[in-house]
């Protein structure tokens, strides 16, 4: 007899819609016990919350997230709000004994993230599961890469090379949004997309970044203010009043990994022609893996132990039963899309709850990413000097 896991989503934006779809889809393709069910959607505005609930297919809504957390019949709080609100909500949810899935970045500061990690560690003793939504870990091709690396197939790692390239701010009249406000967003390309690269890189490499040398740029210092919320890629009215951008447009840094590998990272929203190129390559002494989210169903794998004259990067179509997550879906060669990452995230989260085990990335792991981000900003402010990453949670 399957039990039900009752979920509340906080946040009515793009990510709320995505999570609602993932919770709805996961039990249809994966065996899950308990079986999740989103019962309420909370947002700050009652009217928006109600209409979003209807759109997202959620039976009820609320404009009071604290009241939702207080409900006894809710098992999971799924936080899909902007980053500056994560800490308060997550701490309240953990205090109320709820399992928590929190979108990335975990918080807008390492200090806040550490507090969340500490709370999660305390709650774990009671079997409460807390996880941060670095969804790219759930790409089948990247999970396959992780498996190959764990199995020693690329040997000792020397190079990590990650680029996250977008271009929705390339036009200098692209409109101002909350994502360009340091108070709300924490940082710009760095925290929004660079954080994904950092998490993916450390997870794949199985080694943490210990120090960085960084630089950031804000190429366009003011942008036209829109009266209404404007979507990604919108274009501004040149006559509009302009708002000051207080975050980075781009960040670049080199990184030292604990195991000796050298990382080169770049995150930008100004790489004209790249809508969402999330790329990573890792070179070891026995081979390499390479991935580009523009081709999210494939992994490039080079085996340096293959016979001389027969070597080369091979394109593995990671849609076969042998590949992580893929067997639950369609026949080989029938690719998955972006949203499947979130469905897989739900699956792993629910299974951690069911098994009483750990969910990854844990809040502590996500807090460590926040410490890397902070080291990057300190280095950038200090003439790019090599700057050690402070111990997460310490």
Of residues 82-121, which lie at the interface with a copy of itself (CB under 8 A)? none
CB 309, min distance to a copy of itself, A: 3
CB 177, min distance to a copy of itself, A: 12
Whether 81 and 10 have beta carbons less than 8 Å apart is answered as yes
Nearer to a copy of itself, 27 or 175 (CB): 27
28 binds a copy of itself (CB under 8 A): yes
Nearer to a copy of itself, 69 or 180 (CB): 180
Of residues 311-370, which lie at the interface with a copy of itself (CB under 8 A)? 311-317, 319-323, 329-340
- Tokens 């509340």 sit at which residue? 8
- State the virtual CA torsion across 142, 144, 145, 150 in degrees, nearest 10: 130
308 binds a copy of itself (CB under 8 A): yes
CB 185, min distance to a copy of itself, A: 16
Phi, psi (deg, nearest 5) at residue 205: -70, -20
Contacts of 62 (CB under 8 A, 6+ apart): 40, 41, 42, 43, 46, 49, 68
16 binds a copy of itself (CB under 8 A): no
Nearer to a copy of itself, 88 or 339 (CB): 339
233: region left, alpha or beta (phi > 0 left; psi from -120 to 50 alpha):
left
Tell me if residue 53 falls in helix, strand or coil: helix
CB 264, min distance to a copy of itself, A: 5
24 binds a copy of itself (CB under 8 A): yes
Tell me if residue 312 falls in helix, strand or coil: coil
Contacts of 194 (CB under 8 A, 6+ apart): 164, 251, 265, 267, 373, 376
CB 205, min distance to a copy of itself, A: 14
Distances (CA, A) of 81 to 13, 21, 88, 328: 8, 16, 11, 30
CB 32, min distance to a copy of itself, A: 12
Nearer to a copy of itself, 170 or 370 (CB): 170
Nearer to a copy of itself, 47 or 311 (CB): 311
What is the size of the binding site for a copy of itself (CB under 8 A)?
97
Encoding tokens for residue 289? 């893996």
Which span sits near a copy of itself by CB under 8 A: 12-20, 59-67, 119-127, 353-361? 12-20
CB 345, min distance to a copy of itself, A: 15
Nearer to a copy of itself, 91 or 264 (CB): 264
Of residues 197-216, which lie at the interface with a copy of itself (CB under 8 A)? 213-215
Encoding tokens for residue 32? 């899950």
Phi, psi (deg, nearest 5) at residue 4: -110, 140
Whether 120 and 363 have beta carbons less than 8 Å apart is answered as yes
Alpha-carbon span 184 to 85, nearest angstrom = 9
Of residues 258-297, which lie at the interface with a copy of itself (CB under 8 A)? 260, 262, 264, 266, 268, 270-277, 283-288, 293-297
CB 78, min distance to a copy of itself, A: 16
């Amino acid at each position: 007899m399957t039990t039900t896991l009752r979920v509340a989503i906080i946040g009515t934006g793009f990510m709320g819609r995505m999570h609602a779809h993932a919770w709805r889809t996961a039990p249809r393709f994966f065996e899950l016990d308990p079986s999740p069910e989103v019962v309420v959607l909370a947002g700050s505005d009652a009217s928006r919350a109600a209409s979003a609930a209807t759109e997202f297919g959620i039976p009820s809504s609320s404009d009071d997230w604290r009241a939702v957390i207080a409900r006894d019949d809710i098992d999971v709080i799924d936080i899909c709000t902007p980053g500056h609100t994560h800490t308060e909500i997550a701490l309240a949810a953990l205090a109320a004994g709820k399992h928590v899935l929190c979108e990335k970045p975990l918080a807008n500061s390492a200090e806040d993230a550490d507090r969340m990690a500490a709370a999660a560690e305390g709650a774990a003793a009671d079997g409460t599961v807390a996880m941060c939504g670095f969804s790219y870990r759930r790409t089948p091709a990247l999970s396959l890469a992780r498996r190959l690396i764990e199995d020693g197939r690329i040997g000792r790692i020397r190079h990590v090379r990650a680029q996250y390239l977008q271009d929705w701010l390339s036009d200098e009249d692209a409109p101002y949004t909350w994502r360009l406000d340091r108070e709300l967003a924490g940082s710009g390309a760095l925290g929004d997309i660079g954080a994904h690269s950092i998490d993916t890189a450390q997870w794949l490499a199985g080694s943490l970044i210990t120090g960085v040398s960084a630089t950031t740029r804000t190429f366009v210092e003011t942008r036209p203010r829109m009266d209404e919320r404007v979507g990604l890629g919108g274009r501004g009215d040149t006559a509009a009043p302009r708002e000051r951008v207080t975050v980075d447009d781009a960040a670049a840094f080199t990184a030292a990994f604990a195991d000796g590998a050298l990382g080169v990272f770049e995150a930008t929203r100004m790489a004209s022609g790249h809508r969402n190129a999330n790329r990573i390559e890792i070179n070891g002494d026995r081979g390499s893996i390479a991935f580009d989210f523009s081709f999210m169903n494939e992994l490039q794998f080079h085996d340096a132990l293959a016979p001389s004259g027969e070597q080369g990067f091979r394109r593995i179509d990671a849609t076969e039963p042998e590949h992580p997550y893929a067997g639950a879906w369609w026949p080989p060669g029938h690719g998955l899309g972006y949203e499947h990452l979130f469905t897989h995230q739900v699956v792993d989260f629910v299974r951690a709850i069911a098994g009483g085990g750990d969910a990854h990335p844990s809040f502590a792991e996500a807090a460590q990413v926040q410490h890397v981000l902070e080291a990057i900003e300190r280095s950038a402010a200090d003439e790019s000097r090599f700057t050690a990453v402070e111990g997460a949670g310490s």
